[in-house]
Amino acid sequence: MLRLSEIKLPLEHAESDLDAAVCARLAKLGMPKDGLVGYTVFRRAHDARKRSDIKLTYIVDVEVRDEAALLPRLDKVPHCSPTPDLAYRFAARAPRRMDKPRPVVIGMGPCGLFAGLILAQMGFKPIILERGKAVRERTKDTWGLWRKRVLNPESNVQFGEGGAGTFSDGKLYSQIKDPRHLGRKVLEEFVKAGAPEDILYLSHPHIGTFRLVSMVEKMCAEIIALGGEVRFETRVEDVEIENGRIRGLRLGGAAVTEQGGASHLDCEHVVLAVGHSARDTFEMLHARGVYMEAKPFSLGFRMEHPQSMIDRQRFGDFAGDERLGAAEYKVVHHCENGRAVYSFCMCPGGTVVAATSEPGRVVTNGMSQYSRNERNANAAIVVGVTPADFPGGPLAGIVMQREWESKAFELGGGDYSAPGQLAGDFLAGRTSTSLGKVQPSYKPGVKPADLSQALPDFVIAAIREAIPAFDRKIRCFAMDDALLTGVETRTSSPLRIKRGADFQSLNVAGLYPAGEGAGYAGGIYSAAIDGIKVAEALALAMTGRG
């Protein structure tokens, strides 16, 4: 197979135009007219830098009759290369008889889900411990907060089958380096579980919350069918470390205290994929001496605009074209105070959601369905903070997050409503007393407030400088009626549980920190890839090859 990239065609091109473009490129390589067997689209993206002339850009993999004759000529024609090998190959296979305890995965977000799936597919029959509930029950509890203001600290947007990614836009792309094409394995497993096949070729694929629910269930069912075990409502309360090695886990949660489950589990190989909100787990691990460090994260607000306005500003007369879908944006501004302000987790045609996991705190996040057809666009507008802003050790970032989440709860009226402010009022330094044309999507509700009290002064100053700068890139971004909702605090983990080249903790053998919570991923896609890497390292160690 040969790969042809940078094939650009007008947005409204005919299917035959792509055929002609592929044949024209192959003709430059000296292929005869009857030499093409067929081709598949590997990637399709759009280039909207010129709103009046939007292009679709393709990467295609072609099959030709005499590939050997064309290969020596590839370096003479731009954007032609051999198609890379995308096939996934298992790093190890479990022996028929294991003389060691089964591997354990803590957490069933994207990282833990893929770590468990890969281990199961390799024959290791993992045990997965998830503090939250199965995804259908968890969804009911999540709606309990959104509709009735009732929080279940163990079953919410952050905790439960599927992790925080289940209640998100379901974005499946990242800027991480992926030389082994592990992301392809992630996408193929998602398609097998029910995701639309277009995620295999779209440049910015997404799934949406409703589809993720059923997909997570199917992947969980496969793990069980392959001999794995999943224990919901099972929280890891302590770790047993002996001579620098993990030896066991002490368990709690409803499955133990109410349902009579086991309270102890012997183990020697544990994937720690707890997510960025498992604060009590971080505190326990720190108390047990597991090495970790504070790391940068970000603080800010969710900002909502009319999706129709974003579409017009990004696509011009092509706004609403189904081949483009709802428009996205990505902006960044470097402030005079040295801070960087940027958009994060932009959700076209989505909603702002209540994402707290602790009583008495307000946290926002963004979510979209596959259709992305809600009236508002939203994104986090956040400012980077570093350990210099929260001195005090590895857990100091958690202290900072909790402080501002509690302040947001207070400003919102103490009933899980979120404080909100019109962009015009925020920039002018006046308290909003009512909301404008952009109706808030956050449930259970938004209370007009002064958001200058909701975050540190340097964050407020940076965002006030950045919004007009973003307006120069996307006209109407600073519209008076745009809505800011507070607060966004969990863009990433505030700490990193460091690991070595063998993916094990620096000072606890057999413990494999992984995913967002350990500080090694950001989002569904990168977390899933990290889960695969850690599962492979664990499998190699269990078979004596690591």
∠ CA 316-317-322, nearest 5°, is 100
Mean pLDDT of the chain: 95
Distance between CA atoms of residues 261 and 432, nearest Å:
51
Please give the pLDDT value at position 168: 81
End-to-end CA distance of the chain: 34
Instruction: Please give the pLDDT value at position 209.
Output: 77
Task: Assess contact for 251 and 263: CB atoms under 8 A.
Answer: yes
Give the span between the Cα atoms of 164 and 515, in whole angstroms: 12
H or E segment to which residue 404 belongs: helix 396-411
Measured between alpha carbons, how far is 466 from 422 in angstroms, rounded to an integer? 15
pLDDT value, residue 184: 97
Q: 55: which 2 tokens?
A: 């292009």
pLDDT at 173: 85
**Helices (H), ranges, 161-306:** 182-192, 209-225, 254-257, 279-287
Question: CA-to-CA distance for 504 and 494, rounded, in angstroms?
Answer: 20
What letters, b where the CB count within 10 A reaches 16 and e where it falls short, cover 105-139? bbbbbbbbbbbbbbbbbbbbbbbbbbbbbbbebbb
Task: Please give the Cα distance from 325 to 334 (Å, whole number).
Answer: 30
Residue 426 near residue 417 (C-beta atoms within 8 A):
no
CA torsion 405-408-409-415 (nearest 10°) is -140
SS3 492: coil
Measured between alpha carbons, how far is 255 from 312 in angstroms, rounded to an integer?
51
Three-state secondary structure call for residue 420? strand
Q: Are 54 and 46 in contact (CB under 8 A)?
A: yes
Residues in the chain: 546
Count helices and strands in the chain by DSSP H and E runs: 13, 23
pTM: 0.95
Q: What's the DSSP call for residue 434?
A: S
* Alpha helices by DSSP H, 448-523: 457-473
Q: What is the pLDDT of residue 211?
A: 85
pLDDT the model gives residue 174: 87
Look at residue 97 in the predicted model and tell me its pLDDT.
87
**Are 42 and 60 a contacting pair, CB within 8 Å?**
yes
Which residue type does 29 have? L
Element (H, E) at 106: strand 104-106
Which residues neighbour 64 within 8 Å (Cβ) at sequence distance 6 or greater?
A: 2, 26, 31, 35, 36, 37, 70
Phi, psi of 304 (to 5 degrees): -115, 135
Q: What SS3 class is residue 412?
A: coil
The parts of the chain modelled with pLDDT lower than 50 are none
Q: Tell me the β-bridge partners of 245.
A: 242, 509
Question: Helix or strand or coil: residue 137?
Answer: helix
Pairing between β-strand 36-47 and β-strand 55-64 as defined by DSSP bridges: antiparallel
What's the sign of the alpha-carbon dihedral 506, 510, 515, 518? negative
- CA dist 62 and 432 (Å) reads 58
